[in-house]
Amino acid sequence: MRFAIIAPPIPTQKWKDNFEKIAPHIPLVIGKDSNYAEEVVCAMVWNQPRGSLKSFKNLKLIFAMGAGVDHILKDDTIPEHIPICRVVDPQMAFSMTNYILMALLNHHRSFYEFQSSQNRKHWAQFEFIERPVKVGVLGIGYLGMRAANKIHDLGFSVVGYSNSSKKTAFPSFFGNEFKEFIEQINVLICTVPYTPKTHGLLNYELFQKLKHPTYLINVSRGNVQIEKDIIKALDMDLLSGAFLDVFEKEPLAKDSPLWNHPKVKITPHIASLTYPKESTRQVLKCFSQLEKGLPLKNQVSRKKMY
Ligand code: GLV
């Protein structure tokens, strides 16, 4: 019996080192090594190339080493009967929340304006006030809910939206109440999973419906946004700024106009990272539940796609 790791080189090395420390009794396969393919029972994956699990004929479990599973589900060569589970880690929620707070507070406290006055050695004591913000968290799943609660606890006015009804400490909307949600906010934080329903959701039509201008923070997936529409909305002042961690194509192309746009802040898909130790603990636990025939924790619904 072997576990496999299929991921781009940087996380692979970290996960391998960590896995070998925690589970030295389980040999690993890195990539789709055909010498041992038949022995692989569990694949830990992140952004696996299409078809790369095909040679694992005895695969019993696929484990997503990140919060999103869109990269797994887009691989139509994966047999339907193999359960897919994902890591759900409070440490990931902590770092995602901190990232969102950083983006929100920099906007709320006009940090970029102060930075620009510092560059000019200008003492702008009374020129910028706290911006009144009404924050909308679009997607109150595990990560979005944690961030929304923290923002609410800080005393901000927050509303949330999700597909299904959720019990929340702040007003929240679901299903066909999207319009009501979107029309009242001036900071839009996007934490939705990527599915056919959320593809291109952050588009010009949506930006027109927001309170103007709205500040956009996207930490979900690049294909949830239409980048040319973001630029158009920024240039028309429908959006006051955009803080983006994800992009339609990653790495972001050198010639993307987003890089130099004065109202755009860019980070390279780092809002929340996978912590190898906890992910390894969870994959081992999950596999042992499977072996015992117990219900699996954090199993992905192929229908919902998250
Ligand atoms: C990162 O984007 C993740 O899905 O964990």
State pLDDT tens for residues 74-107.
999 999 999 999 999 999 999 999 999 999 999 9
Q: Quick one: 144 and 193 in the same domain?
A: yes
As given in the structure block, the two tokens for residue 296 are: 């699996």
- Residues 152-189 have pLDDT tens digits of 999 999 999 999 999 999 999 999 999 999 999 999 99
Furthest-apart CA atoms within the chain: distance in Å: 69
E strand or H helix that includes residue 217: strand 214-218
Query: Could you tell me which of 135, 188, 173, 179 has the C-alpha nearest to residue 157?
Result: 135
Q: Could you tell me the residue range of the domain that residue 151 belongs to? A: 90-266
Residue 168 in domain: yes
Residue 172 in domain: yes
Residue 299 in domain: no
Residue 248 in domain: yes
Q: Quick one: 85 and 99 in the same domain?
A: no
CATH code assigned at 28: 3.40.50.720
Q: Quick one: 95 and 64 in the same domain?
A: no
Residue 304 in domain: no
Residue 301 in domain: no
Question: Which are the contacts of 288, defined by CB distance < 8 A and separation ≥ 6?
Answer: none
- Residues 187-241 have pLDDT tens digits of 999 999 999 999 999 999 999 999 999 999 999 999 999 999 999 999 999 999 9
- Report how many domains make up the chain: 2
Phi, psi dihedrals of residue 279, rounded to the nearest 5°: -65, -40
Q: Quick one: 127 and 59 in the same domain?
A: no
Pairing assessment for the beta strands 157-162 and 134-138 based on DSSP bridges: parallel
Q: Is the CB of 187 under 6 A from ligand 1?
A: no
Residue 302 in domain: no
Q: 2 C-alpha to center of ligand 1: Å?
A: 25
Separation between Cα atoms, residue 209 and residue 182, nearest integer Å = 7
Collapsed DSSP state (helix, strand, coil) of residue 266: strand
Q: How far is CA 126 from CA 102, 108, 109, 111, 131, in A?
A: 22, 15, 12, 13, 13
Q: Quick one: 117 and 167 in the same domain?
A: yes
Separation between Cα atoms, residue 120 and residue 143, nearest integer Å = 39
Q: Find out whether 187 and 212 touch, Cβ atoms under 8 Å.
A: no
Residue 219 in domain: yes
Q: Quick one: 83 and 132 in the same domain?
A: no
Q: Quick one: 208 and 70 in the same domain?
A: no
Q: Is the CB of 66 under 6 A from ligand 1?
A: yes
Separation between Cα atoms, residue 186 and residue 214, nearest integer Å = 4
E strand or H helix that includes residue 99: helix 90-108
Q: Quick one: 48 and 138 in the same domain?
A: no
Q: Quick one: 256 and 134 in the same domain?
A: yes
Q: For residue 80, with 0-12 CB atoms within 10 Å meaning exposed, 13-18 middle and 19 or more buried, which class applies?
A: exposed
Average pLDDT score over the chain: 97
Q: Is the CB of 151 under 6 A from ligand 1?
A: no
Q: Is the CB of 67 under 6 A from ligand 1?
A: yes
Q: Quick one: 81 and 98 in the same domain?
A: no
Q: Find out whether 9 and 48 touch, Cβ atoms under 8 Å.
A: no
Select from 274, 282, 298 the residue to mutate for testing ligand 1; criterion: most ligand atoms less than 8 Å from CB.
274
pLDDT greater than 90 at residue 124: yes
